[in-house]
């Protein structure tokens, strides 16, 4: 008998390993907090669309174009993206996969980032700047969920592979990459300290 596992959903986990990543991370942290202080339009948009939190998604969404520190983050992410794309076997010989968006998310206590995907993008991801102990990870939903018409629940002791969702813990200095159609959310932050991340999109068209 042979069982084949078809059509896997891949999520890439990496770390900014190069020496000095913590000093670099501190520069990113300072800029994230400064951006929130300076970005009145973003704070106003967040009040209506990201209650209790701050995101520059709708105001300063190309940080890699306006900040040398974020431009360096883009350079440091490149090898990870190249590796992921290679594993996905994307044929990009004729087109370049380029970062199109890069924005800041700050989640104080009780803030949630509901289930969503990233339209008009190919690869998306998050880099974690500050992850206080007990803060939520990133929860991914099984992309086949809407087709589970008559599937029974899975046995809990079989591990996470059969569950319709998977939470990958957040850790400062680490990054996640995934295909942009994969739905995900950040559950409510239960701790008093702020969870800070930088999200980004890459597109090949
Ligand atoms: Fe997202």
Q: Which residue has the tokens 């967040």?
A: 46
Measure 185 CA to ligand 1 centroid, in angstroms: 7
Asked if residue 80 lies in contact with residue 12, where contact means CB atoms within 8 angstroms, the answer is yes
> Can you give the pLDDT of all 205 residues of the chain as single tens digits?
999 989 999 999 999 977 789 999 999 999 999 999 999 999 999 999 999 999 999 999 999 999 999 999 999 999 999 999 999 999 999 999 999 999 999 999 999 999 999 999 999 999 999 999 999 999 999 999 888 888 888 877 766 677 889 999 999 999 999 999 999 999 999 999 999 999 999 999 8
Measure 2 CA to ligand 1 centroid, in angstroms: 37
Supply the pTM of this predicted model.
Answer: 0.95
The encoded tokens of residue 36 equal 């929130």
Of 161, 160, 179, nearest in space to 11 by CA: 179
Measure 155 CA to ligand 1 centroid, in angstroms: 29
Measure 133 CA to ligand 1 centroid, in angstroms: 21
Measure 87 CA to ligand 1 centroid, in angstroms: 21
């Amino acid at each position: 008998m042979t069982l084949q596992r078809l059509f896997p959903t891949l999520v890439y986990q990496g770390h900014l390993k190069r020496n000095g990543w913590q000093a670099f991370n501190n520069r990113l942290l300072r800029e994230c907090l400064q951006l929130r202080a300076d970005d009145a339009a973003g704070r106003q948009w967040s009040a209506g669309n990201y209650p209790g939190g701050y995101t520059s998604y709708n105001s300063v969404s190309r940080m890699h174009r306006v900040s040398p520190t974020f431009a360096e983050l883009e350079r440091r992410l490149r090898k990870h993206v190249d590796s992921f794309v290679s594993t996905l076997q994307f044929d990009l010989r004729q087109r370049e996969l380029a970062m199109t968006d890069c924005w800041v998310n700050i989640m104080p206590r009780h803030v949630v980032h509901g289930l969503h995907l990233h339209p008009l993008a190919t690869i998306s991801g998050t880099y974690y700047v500050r992850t206080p102990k007990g803060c939520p990870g990133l929860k991914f939903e099984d992309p086949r969920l809407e087709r589970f018409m008559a599937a029974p629940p899975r046995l809990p002791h079989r591990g996470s592979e059969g569950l319709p969702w998977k939470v990958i813990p957040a850790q400062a200095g680490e990054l996640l990459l995934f295909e942009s159609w994969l739905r995900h959310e950040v559950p409510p932050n239960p701790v008093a300290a702020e969870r800070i991340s930088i999200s980004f999109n890459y597109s090949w068209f």
